[in-house]
Every structure is written in structure tokens, then in C-alpha cells.
Amino acid sequence: MDTPTIYDVSRLSGVSTATVSRAFTAPDRVREETRRKVLAAAEALGYQPSAIARAMARQQTDKIAFLICKKDATILDEFYASICEGVMRRANSTSYQLLISTAADWQRTGQSKQIEGVILAGDAEPSLISSFQRQGVAVVLVNHRASGFELPSVVADEQNGARQVIDHLTAYGHRRIALLAGRFSSYITSVRYNAFLTAMQEHGISVDDSGIVMCGRDVESATQASVELLRRPERPTAVFAFNDVLAAGVIKAATRLGLRVPDDVAVVGFDDSSSCTLLTPELSSVHVDCRRMGEICLEQLTALLSGDTEVPRLTVVPVSLRTRASSIRL
Amino acid sequence: MDTPTIYDVSRLSGVSTATVSRAFTAPDRVREETRRKVLAAAEALGYQPSAIARAMARQQTDKIAFLICKKDATILDEFYASICEGVMRRANSTSYQLLISTAADWQRTGQSKQIEGVILAGDAEPSLISSFQRQGVAVVLVNHRASGFELPSVVADEQNGARQVIDHLTAYGHRRIALLAGRFSSYITSVRYNAFLTAMQEHGISVDDSGIVMCGRDVESATQASVELLRRPERPTAVFAFNDVLAAGVIKAATRLGLRVPDDVAVVGFDDSSSCTLLTPELSSVHVDCRRMGEICLEQLTALLSGDTEVPRLTVVPVSLRTRASSIRL
DNA sequence: GTGAAAGCGCTAACAA
DNA sequence: TTGTTAGCGCTTTCAC
């Protein structure tokens, strides 16, 4: 037999379809007894309201999207996967359906997949943002800030993370601290960079350019750059890397050169990815609660969608340094 | 102004809504000239067919889901994230909308999110599978096999992977090869376990139970188990770990005991996750093309949905050992 | 090749 | 509190 409709329930329970509808969507507007009758009939029939018909009648889709805005081959790296997980978790306890994709794919094929809200992760193009806004789609940004737009951003407290690292390293007597930087999303790249400079300044350590090395975003590139860095006559006693992958490169370079970590050179990463505890020695890193960030995004998006005007323009999620063997001399 | 509907296009182009509809869904059933007129009008209006109204009229949702069936806190680990990526990639070039969730969340809240097909990743409960089948939802399994069901499974060639590893190790003269095993999904656990045994047999190496060690699925557990293993009087010269995380534990244990990898003990992992090249020494591992597996899943699901009856019951995706420093003596 | 019209299953005024 | 009814925007027979 076909799947039962609201008419079947109406007939079986002896009330109108409107009442059946109310029994499901506004239970308190139906007399207790009637509602029970309806629910019993629905149960007996195995009836489930059709999401599509509902969307049709209400003129809304109940759909939101999480779009990853980056160009790599790997779109779901650990960082974005964790944010995504947070979003999914929270989405599951709402009535919204979550679509996940990349910005590129969306623009290519996302037509006609009407959504009411979108979370843009990473380097969202202004044109993309405004195209959503033009369509009346609510937008929340994560790991990014867009000047000139009135919309909520969720970011990690990178400044504080860098400060904690430099505090930690200087406490162990390090003064010659190098930064190994790579090109990631424009936001992360500039913010982490500046956070490092600021933290160094706060400790009155001058950062001559030689203390900052740029490399690609893969280990191999980081390793090569680190080999050069660690070969310099004025070798840094500590290296702060932009993320854990680059930090792993520093450790590899040190090993290759016969230097010991942390005795000859201390290493600290960023993100506290799962690889930190796989490495030997274990890698100190700034823990970022990506899952939480994703959850916050979804909360703010639903707030926006329910007409809440009190949604904060910027949410900064705290971070905390996890110190491990790579930077602790016993 | 409101978003334009098919009526607006109909009016502007001077044809009926039926023709507008055909111009979009069955272009070849409309005269060339008429179609151009319609498309021009649509373009001018910025018209996009409403997916909801279409779903309503056609009585189908065009929605499919990717459900992760595992109990961990982390649902999107690198392995599943890669499969997921493959699925997403392919889904984006279809008209299907992809919902991603966990089996648990789905069962809790998945009501009324009607879907036409589902990809079940990992340990899918038989009851879940049959509940989908009862609803007429097409099912494809990945990294799992369900006896008693008539549905496509996509898995990696674990047997061959294990064989390649043992071939490789024996070629370097190893005979005392231990297995470090952990409890993962039931399918993976049993298949990898048996694949190891078979491969050892093929080389005429007897596997006394002492050569097989079980541990948890985290590094720390693997490290502890490995320390014990490597302390044994008859220390293995090589360890084959169930996955890369456990393999990292072996390396950590070796370092802790002052053993050199690969000189004192060779290590090989499974999955070829991104951490392999972060480790020192780099980890040899069996490369599994998860992305491809995801793509295949989606292809088979769409084939199923389009009524194709030629969908293979089982697809085995080839794997290949990536040898790196952890198992190569120079 | 094209048009008229009847739905698809539900919601939301408006009435009662 | 409950029922009547008119859509929501599109597809799809069935005529022409």
C-alpha cells in the first residue's frame, strides 16, 4: 500500500485534516482527547508527515548548508571535519536538514537546492556572501571575518593562543624563537602571523625577519624549510609552527640534522590535532575546540533564522596550550 | 519582489506552464525556438525551478543520506571523512541532495527526513538495514558486509593488503612478525585479522598466539601493549599494526625502549593516513583509496535508484603498500 | 509540439 | 476547539 497521508489519518480519526495537522505542529491548540485520537490513528497507519508537502505549504525548506571554502584537494581535513561534526551534532537536534558541500561545488551545482541559512567555513568570497544575502539566506562565518558585512563570525582566540605559547617558551628561557608560517586561509594566515608578532613584542623580544620562515602547507615543504632554519649559525632554540603538520616537519628536520627535541630545539604547533600524540616526542600544541565552534555556528544560525536580533557579531572561542614533551625540558 | 515562479516565466514567454516545465526537464520535447524563448524569459526573471514543488509533484525527494555507523566520539576520522568526501564529490554532480549524519542521530531524529537511498558506512545493524529496505529505501554498504541481505557492498582488498605487507617484510628477512590488533568495526577487525593469518600461512610462518597482541584503539593503549611486546625475550623483528594510529604507538614504544626503527624493529601500518609522513621515521602503510570507495558507493546507489539491476553485490577496491623508512633498512 | 487542468500532501487564514 | 477551503509551484496525463 502507499504511504499514508494526512487524509488517511483524518478519515480514520474522524477529524479534519486541519486538526490532524495541528495535532502535529501545534499540539496545544488541540483538545487533549482529540490529539490522542489523532496520534493513535497516525500510529496505527504508520503515518509520518511529508516533509516536502510541509515545505511546500509553508514556503520554507527547513534546509541549511555547511559550505567549506577552500581550494585544497582535501576538503575534510581534521580541522574542518571537527567543525563540521559540531555543526552536524547540533543540527540533528533541530528540524533543519543539513547539506554539506564545498563552496566550489555549490556554485557549480547548488542551484535549486534552496536553503534558508548557510555556514561558510574558511575563506568565503565576498561575492558568495552577498549572493546569499541577496537571496535572503542567513549567513554565519567560521574561521573567517568579512569586513563590510553584518553577520556573525565564529573564530578561535588565536591571539591568546600565541601568547600562551610565547609565555610558555620564555618561561623555559627561550629567547630565540622562530616562526614557521605557511599559507592557509587568508584569515588564519594573517591572524596567526600577527598574533605571534604581538606576543613576541609583549615579551620584549625583537623579531628580526630571519626568525620568520615561510613554507608550503605540506610536511615536506616544512621539513626543508626547517632544515635550512636549523642550520643557521644563530639557530633558534624554539620553533613555533603555524599548525601541527608544519610542526611535524620541524621535528623531522631536527631528527635529520641530529638535533634533539626539545633539548636542542623546542617545538610547538597549533590546532592540537590528533597527530600530536602520535609523534615522538609528543607535540605541544594550542588546542582549538573546533567541535564547539561548529556548535556555536549552528546555534547562531538558528537564532538568526528564528528572527533573533541579538546574535553577536563576533564570537571568540577560547583556546589553551597543551604542553607536551616537544617543548618541556625535564 | 518574490522569487519568480513558473507562472511568471509562462506569462513572460507567452507559453503554458507545461511547456516551461518541459523546457527544463525534457528539452527535446520542446521546439528549439520555443525553448529558447522560455530560457530567455527564465534568465530575465532569474527563475530557478523550486526543488520542493518539483519533489511534491513528482512524489520523490531526490534526497540520499550517508550515515556513519560507529560509536566513537569522533565520527569523522580521516578514514570516514575521506569516504565521505568521495560520496560528496559524486553527489554534487547529480541532482541528489546529500544528507550526512550518524546512524544513532538518524534514528533519534531522522523522522520525516524522507530519503530515497542511503549509504551505510561501517557496522550497520541488520535491524537498521531492514528498516530501510522495508521503506523502499535503496541501501549500499561500505566497509561492511551484511549476510542475508541482497545489497551492494564496497570494501577494500584487505587480504591483498596484508599479503603485500608480509611479502615486503619477509623479503627483508623478517620471520618474527607480530600483529598489533585493536577492536574496530566488526568487519574490519575480523577481516584484517584473518588477512594477516592467511598471509603468514602463505609464507609458511607459524603464528603462535604470542605474536598477536590486542589493544585499545588509541595510541596510548597501543604504546603500552607495544612496550610489553617489545620487551619479550623473543622480540619480534617486525610489527604489523591494524592501523596507523596503533603503528605510531609501536614507534613510540620502540623509542621509549631505546630500540631503533626500522633497524631493531620494522613497523608497518594500515590505511596510509596523513600521519604516516608526519612520523619519524615515516611510516610504511597500506594505502586504501577511501575517496574512490565513496565515489563507487554513490555510483552504485544512483544505479540502484535508476532501476539498474546489474549492480554488483560486492566491489573490492585495490590497495597498495606504500613502503617508507619505518620498514626499509638501507 | 503545445495547452488545459488535475493533482501531489500539507498549512493557514477564516468561519463556525 | 474544530472544520472548510484555497493555495504552495511544479509535473503530467490527456486533448488538440
pLDDT in tens, A41-99: 999 999 989 989 999 999 888 899 999 999 887 888 999 999 999 999 999 888 898 99
B75–A76 C-beta distance less than 8 A = no
Most A CBs within 10 A among B112, B267, B289, hence the mutation to make, goes to B112
User: Could you tell me if residue A233 is inside a domain?
Assistant: yes
User: Could you tell me if residue A296 is inside a domain?
Assistant: no
- The whole-angstrom separation of Cα B106 and Cα B70 is 12
Rounded to the nearest 10 degrees, the angle between the axes of helix B32-45 and helix B6-13 is 120
User: Could you tell me if residue B38 is inside a domain?
Assistant: yes
Query: What is the Cα B12 distance to its own chain's centre?
Result: 48
Residue B309 C-alpha cell reads as 539491476
A84–B76 C-beta distance less than 8 A = yes
- pLDDT bucket at A16, cuts 50 / 70 / 90: very high
Tell me whether A231 touches chain B (CB under 8 Å): no
B279–A278 C-beta distance less than 8 A = yes
Q: Are residues A166 and A281 in the same domain?
A: yes
pLDDT of the residue at A75: 86
CA of A113 to C1' of D11 (A): 18
User: Could you tell me if residue B306 is inside a domain?
Assistant: no
Beta bridge partners of B222: none
For A103, name the nearest residue in chain B, comparing CA atoms only. Answer: B92
Beta bridge partners of A66: A100, A119
B277–A278 C-beta distance less than 8 A = no
Could you give the angle at the alpha carbon of B70 between the alpha carbons of B64 and B72, nearest 5°?
130
Q: Considering its fold, how many domains does chain A have in total?
A: 2
Q: Report pLDDT digits (tens) over A133-158.
A: 988 899 999 999 999 999 999 999 99
Tell me whether B131 touches chain A (CB under 8 Å): no
CA of B151 to C1' of C6 (A): 38
Q: Domain with A28 in it: what CATH number?
A: 1.10.260.40
B278–A248 C-beta distance less than 8 A = yes
- pLDDT bucket at A330, cuts 50 / 70 / 90: low
Q: Which nucleotide is nearest to B58 (CA to C1')?
A: D11
Report which of A318, A322, A263 is spatially closest to residue A290, judged by C-alpha positions.
A318
Residues of B in contact with A96 (CB under 8 A): none
- pLDDT bucket at A306, cuts 50 / 70 / 90: confident
Cis peptide before B262 (omega within 30 of 0): yes
User: Could you tell me if residue A241 is inside a domain?
Assistant: yes
Q: Are residues A45 and A163 in the same domain?
A: no
Task: Report which residue is nearest nucleotide D8 when distances run from CA to C1'.
Answer: A57
Residue B146 C-alpha cell reads as 551484511
User: Could you tell me if residue A184 is inside a domain?
Assistant: yes
Tell me whether A255 touches chain B (CB under 8 Å): yes
Q: Domain with B162 in it: what CATH number?
A: 3.40.50.2300
Domain end, chosen from B254, B272, B288, is at B288
B317 φ, ψ (degrees, to nearest 5): -90, 130
Q: Are residues B170 and B279 in the same domain?
A: yes
Bases of chain D below 7 A from a protein C-beta are 1-5, 7-13
Domain that holds residue B239: 158-288
Nearest CB partner across the interface for B112, out of A49, A109, A244? A49
B105–A100 C-beta distance less than 8 A = no
Domain end, chosen from B58, B79, B100, is at B58
pLDDT at residue B147 is higher than 80: yes
pLDDT of the residue at B248: 98
Q: Which nucleotide is nearest to B30 (CA to C1')?
A: C1
User: Could you tell me if residue A243 is inside a domain?
Assistant: yes
User: Could you tell me if residue B109 is inside a domain?
Assistant: no
